[in-house]
Amino acid sequence: MSTPCWIDVAVQTPAHSQVGGLLSYRCPFLVQPGQLVRVPFGPREVLGVVWAIQDHAPADMPASNVRDVLGVLEGLPPLDEAWRQLVQFSAQYYQRSLGEVALSALPPQLRDLSNEQLARRLKKQNTERAVNTTPGPALSDEQSAVLAQMATGTGPFLLFGSTGSGKTEVYLQAVERMLAADPRDQALLMVPEINLTPQLEERVQARFGNDAVVSMHSGMTPAQRLKGWLAAHAGHARIVLGTRMAIFASMPHLKLIVVDEEHDPSYKQQEGARYSARDLAVYRGRLHKAPVLLASATPSLESWHHSRPADAEDTGGRYQRLLMPSRIGTALLPKVRRVDMNKQPRRAVLSTQLVAAIQERVQRGEQCMLLLNRRGYAPVLHCADCGWKSECKHCSAFRVFHKIDRTLRCHHCGLTERVPRACPECGNADIAPIGRGTEQLEEHLGELLAHVLRTDGSPVRIARIDADTTRLKGALESQLAQVHSGEVDVLIGTQMIAKGHDFRRITLVAAVNPDTALFSSDFRAPERLFALLMQAAGRAGRDATQSATSEMWVQTFHPQHALFEALKQHDYPAFAASELAERTAADLPPISHQALLRADARTQEAAQALLNAARETLEAQLSENPDTADLVLQVSVYPAVPMSMQRVADVERAQMLLESPSRMALQKMLWHLHGVLHQVRSQPEHKGVIRWLVDVDPQAI
Ligand code: ADP
Ligand code: ZN
Ligand code: ZN
């Protein structure tokens, strides 16, 4: 046994406790930074990561108060410096404690394993993970050009490639080239959602062998997660394929990061440390000197802006833009058709032309897909006599009518009740649904197409995929399989069905009612809608033999809207240019940088009072000091307002926006704000506040 030393350890501290940083322990054995240890924390024993070794006792507490480390997780190599730096940066940038970020990046099962159990897991590891690369297809000219540019540049790269242009093939061949250079190297492939993972996982496994690939996403069991994590950490797995959480995978030989569908909002974590896995990918790439490839057919305006080419007045962005405009083979993008709903009978859900077009396709043996971004039967139940609506008593939202089990369900707090027989206010028996959800669309379309027969003479088959139909494990997979096998003629669903799926026989896609997003209070709503519609269009005509007749239909009351014009031309650059012009004029991201401070309380006044008090204290403190007075000018801090979803589950929510042209200034401001919040929060008049949190680079305002 060596002489005891003093170490700083990251442990999971409760959110908003004052213990934000590292804790000091005495360590009776020799350890290195990055090793995992078990330490006492209050009455409990917890897992921690050794962050630093000190050569003297902590100055701020008596040595006798420093507790001893209880044990080391043996056999595990330390988490490397790049990983620790990633965690440290994330904690700082997203304003959370280092321990929280570090520990939530580790598989939960690690906390509960004894050294014996861990040793058994490590022994079971397949260290001889074979990589049997099966050659891919000959590359298209565009694919070859992109890979050549990646080989000579340093990145980060933004691959702007049409749906079906063969982006996935580019990722696979980039991995292949990486492994050819050094078979010990590792690649991280990130995808937005779990439901897209199975297809890609099969493709990656088919190319590199089952053993080379591990998955990381929230749908895995704790045991699976641990196994995959260990394989990546030990350097045995060549490829980690995962959702946003995979950005924190420990990968000592990381040499390539790919972010597929980089514009997708699900890369932003919405609780705890609200990190953007896409942004962290760019940071992590720099740490590992690994090229980063962001890819999309509709890039985020952030990445588009960062990859702008240089011109006379502008040195250009720091990303390199790579282009793949054509679909593979002879496949064409679908023709976009707008239906002017002003010319349809009032309250028509589906235009007569669209119904006729669907019928024709079904009779030809083709598939159609209808998109409606609202699940359930109807968004509201309504009494025409007294005006009662099916509001949720706990949230500022309506409960949605689900006809299938005759319930009213709140999609925010989950409150579910049987539909009343009569209006609860006035007793009127005639309460009616207003608006439409996927459930009603399915019923309605079933009636309209009741007489339509498939090529085999059997009746048309309509299926619905949304959060309600896919609640059970495996349900989504089996429903998608039905679509792929051709058992289904018309697929109805929410945005879930628009993304990524390589449906081969769909030739018509229709957006039933996309207009609401045109006039949203959220400045990102048009960007999201455009991406969704382009994605949806990308599901049509993926098979070249049918692509010439494939169509994307948009039913709208605003057929001349610039967004639909750009969609019709499949012209993302035109759309992006006009959106960026608006963002520039209004000083919105990506031109400026934002953070939101949110407070939750029993009353709206209490929530806002905390925010406004923090703002006043902050500005007063900063103005007093000549070193910080500038910050007040560089960062705008707006007064508190209610959030757009003001009340959820009886909790009132308020927010305060901070905005600055300088990311650095905003970060400094947040640092000061953090101190002020602890100070203000402890004042008796703010007792009613339940919690506060900071969202840096928020996705929704
Ligand atoms: P994206 O990811 O851009 O939507 P994919 O990589 O899924 O496109 O490619 C679309 C289709 O084209 C897939 O079925 C894929 O197997 C096929 N494909 C991709 N690259 C090639 C190629 N070079 N030669 C032949 N087929 C290809
Ligand atoms: Zn009534
Ligand atoms: Zn509710």
Q: What is the DSSP string of 246-310?
A: GGG---TTEEEEEETTTT-GGGB--SSS--BHHHHHHHHHHHHT--EEEEESS--HHHHHHTPPP
Q: Helix, strand, or coil here: 598?
A: strand
Q: Which of 330, 335, 331 is nearest to 550 (CA)?
A: 335
Angle between helices 277-288 and 81-93 (to 10 degrees): 140
pLDDT value at residue 447:
95
Q: Helix, strand, or coil here: 102?
A: helix
Atom of ligand 1 nearest to the CA of 203: 16
With a 6 Å cutoff on the Cβ, whether 166 touches ligand 1 is: yes
CA of 148 to the centre of ligand 2 (A): 68
Nearest ligand atom owner, CA of 385: 2
pLDDT value at residue 701:
82
Superfamily of domain 5-108: PriA, 3(prime) DNA-binding domain (3.40.1440.60)
Residue 652 is inside which H or E element, if any?
A: strand 651-660
Topology (CATH level 3) of domain 335-375+437-585: Rossmann fold (3.40.50)
Helices (H), 125-166: 141-152
Which residue ranges does the chain devote to CATH 3.40.50.300? 141-324, 335-375+437-585
Task: Give the residue whose CA is nearest to atom 18 of ligand 1.
Answer: 166
Q: Helix, strand, or coil here: 384?
A: coil
Angle between helices 197-208 and 167-181 (to 10 degrees): 40
DSSP codes, 331-366: --PPEEEEEEGGGSPTT-SS-HHHHHHHHHHHHTT-
With a 6 Å cutoff on the Cβ, whether 500 touches ligand 1 is: no
pLDDT value at residue 1:
46
Q: Which of 142, 168, 261, 263 has most ligand 1 atoms within 8 Å of CB, for mutation?
A: 168
Task: Give the residue whose CA is nearest to atom 15 of ligand 1.
Answer: 166
Residue 267 dihedral angles phi and psi, to the nearest 5°: -70, -10
Residue 338 dihedral angles phi and psi, to the nearest 5°: -100, 135
141-324 is classed in which CATH architecture?
A: 3-Layer(aba) Sandwich (3.40)
Residue located via tokens 């569908």:
261
Taking domain 593-696, whether its CATH number is 3.30.70.600 is answered by yes
690 Cβ contact list (under 8 Å, min separation 6) = 600, 601, 602, 651
Which residue ranges does the chain devote to CATH 3.40.1440.60? 5-108
Low-confidence stretches of the chain (pLDDT < 50) are 1
Q: Which of 144, 147, 169, 501 has most ligand 1 atoms within 8 Å of CB, for mutation?
A: 169
Among positive and negative, which fits the CA dihedral 604, 609, 612, 615?
Answer: negative
Model confidence, pTM: 0.92
pLDDT value at residue 119:
87
Residue 608 dihedral angles phi and psi, to the nearest 5°: -70, -35
CA of 204 to the centre of ligand 1 (A): 13
pLDDT value at residue 17:
52
Which residue ranges does the chain devote to CATH 3.30.70.600? 593-696
Nearest ligand atom owner, CA of 543: 1
